[in-house]
Structure 1
């Protein structure tokens, strides 16, 4: 018996568990699960389906990962969950595997997923994101790097949350949140640039100044969106952050929180 695995844990034959993984009491690990080195599972964690968990994750009690999605169109196809490295996944989080849309649900590296968060089928959460207590991602949601989603906030299917954006608590998001912005309300609207977050992450004064001006062009001057994008490109031809905003908006299918 591996001294790092509690005697009450149930580990199915076929599961690939690194030697130093710690698995607490009453955990259940399915046969297609892979867990890499340095990861810790506290008590009563359930991991099923084809689920790949990377290195040095800390998964708290009563988390459920890899169960079938809550999608009536799902018919048992082979799908999976992929979780990167150095994530903290708090109590009662649920992460469901994908459907035939993407065939996987993914969480990147260095994320904090707080208690009672739900990450539904085919979602993509990039690196360094924070999902506060009770945030709910419906299917096919895409959260870019360094985004922060406040507590008790539902995100509609197919919505994207841009990099370095912040969504306020108890908001309701049914359109894309533009990168670098702060959105809040029910339904969520863009409020301003996420200045505090950008400063914490080392953005220069010049970068923040440009993003402030981009916000005014998009949201405050009464321009049609197409006109705003043209102005952004003309005014900031070499700004990588503005380029990302333009590309993000052009790809939007649900519109933006304007």
Structure 2
């Protein structure tokens, strides 16, 4: 049997698990580069019965699946993957499964972004390395309001840590009930607008769908405080990227921590800078 691992840009897949139990029975091919061309991708994996994909980097829609007659198993990192056509996969006899995690990594990354932004860690680190000294004053989290768009498993974990910092936590989503908010010790916002207007930090923990795509656009960003920060570790398209960049350039908000992108690219414009190394978008 043949197995292909796609988009392993860090060349880490084989070191993240014990593959020795299967490598004696199958040929494992690792691709570190991304295939932009469908024909090139098909040529590379057409003989594979198993394909392991990195989240949503390579979509597996009907037109691709029908070109892979040998494919029997499609494995995705993470349980949710909007780039897979599950109906077509079932029609072609392809089993789709994913790795399950508790969201702890995303929770920790959310707080790394929050602390990195409020304490200006990237800016101050670069300043010291270039011969300077402290040029900013950090923001104390105690007593501030953390606004969560989404209170699922990850949102609840983020809320718990916010409470440990002494923050007041408010949450909103279209399906959030008062009972669930109360169980998490969180205030239920009466509306998305109330949450945006009153929060010092807004963190997004929603599933991407028709109702959430572009949920945070220019109008919503205008509602946020000029001292507020926006954190997105959910899905890139939930936030209008161009509107966010404009808000940062104009000082409408203090900064943003971004770990998800609709299309990954370096952005440098004016005072707005994306530091991909630390995955923090700062002013």
- TM-score bracket, normalised by the shorter chain, equals under 0.3
Question: Normalized per residue, which structure has more helix?
Answer: 2
The structure whose Rg is larger is 2
Q: TM-score, with normalisation over the residues of structure 1? A: 0.28
Q: TM-score, with normalisation over the residues of structure 2? A: 0.26
Q: Which has the higher contact order (CA 8 A, sep 6+)?
A: 2
Question: Normalized per residue, which structure has more strand?
Answer: 1
